[in-house]
Structure 1
Amino acid sequence: MFKDREKLLYAFTEQRAALTRFLARRLGCAALAEDLAQETWLRLAGRETAGIGNPRAYLFRIASNLAFDHQRHAGLGVEVEADAATVDAIADPKPTPEAEALQRSELARLLREVDNLPPRCREVFMLAKFEELSYAEIASRLGIAKNTVMVHMVKALATLERCMGDDASERDR
């Protein structure tokens, strides 16, 4: 029995990437494929393992069945009913009004600090963080060396960290 479980664990470990790719192709979602690959192991670990001749095929059969079950349930629009106490116990992912106000305030403060950066430093920072350009692209656009871009970014990040950190430590007092 222990030897059979070891063979299955070995097969799962060896085949996990292939199993996940198989599920991702079938389901069209990498995150769901990861979840179902893990569910495959959980199903396998909870079953009697004696007499499994081809562990790889057995793994893929379980995964295939899980994918089929998922697609069938998704196609039917199956919903789970829960009592009021269970629903009330689920945390609301939406931030509280206080948290939203604090986040808006922090963002406004960050934008003010970005405006206070030296012009070239601010320009490099904005291109990197808001336009998501690489350092090489920024260097090419501004006609400066890539190392100069890096120097400006380090200066911008250090200045912003210092400014934002100073205000946060003063607020905590």
Structure 2
Amino acid sequence: MHNLQGIKELYDSVCLKDDMTAYQQLFLVMETPLIAFIKALVGATEVAEELYSDLFVKIWARRKTLPATQYPRNYIYTMARNLALDYLKKERPLHSIEFHEIDPLTVQDQAPTPEEQVISKEMIRKIESAINVLPARCRLIFKMVKEDGFKYKEVAALLGISVNTVEVQMSIALKKVAASVKFKTLAG
């Protein structure tokens, strides 16, 4: 139940029915991508995990007053971003978030789609390697769009950048991944 409709159903059950089982399922469904997102902002896995736990404590505590929304995933990501930014303000009051400071993200293993099943394991490895060597900013934007399914506008809002910047970064990422895979395929 990782699709957007499934997340909405879980969110609605938590907010409207005080459904603890739905809350636990929502926690598990959102855990991996949200911890990776928070880690990209704060730079430390342990801090990201703590902030993720804090986020879900807030969700449960505020479940009666959370807004009814068509896009709860976006709302939860915004809450996570705000928690991460609050943490950074407390920890590094004189610094802003610099994308070159973000630790490299690991590519998550997910159940293969039909398209991925057609591609050989070797090609998947080459694509993952190409993604892992992208600059941190490109990699974060690429993963949010391609793996987490966010629209460019949503990524721009969550990261506080322009849609044009997202488009440029995606173009750079796609060109580098394609060139790397093509070159490695011909050379390998």
Higher relative contact order (CA 8 A, sep 6+): 2
> Which of the two has greater helix per residue?
1
Per the normalisation by structure 1, the TM-score is 0.39
Per the normalisation by structure 2, the TM-score is 0.36
Q: Which structure has the larger Rg?
A: 1
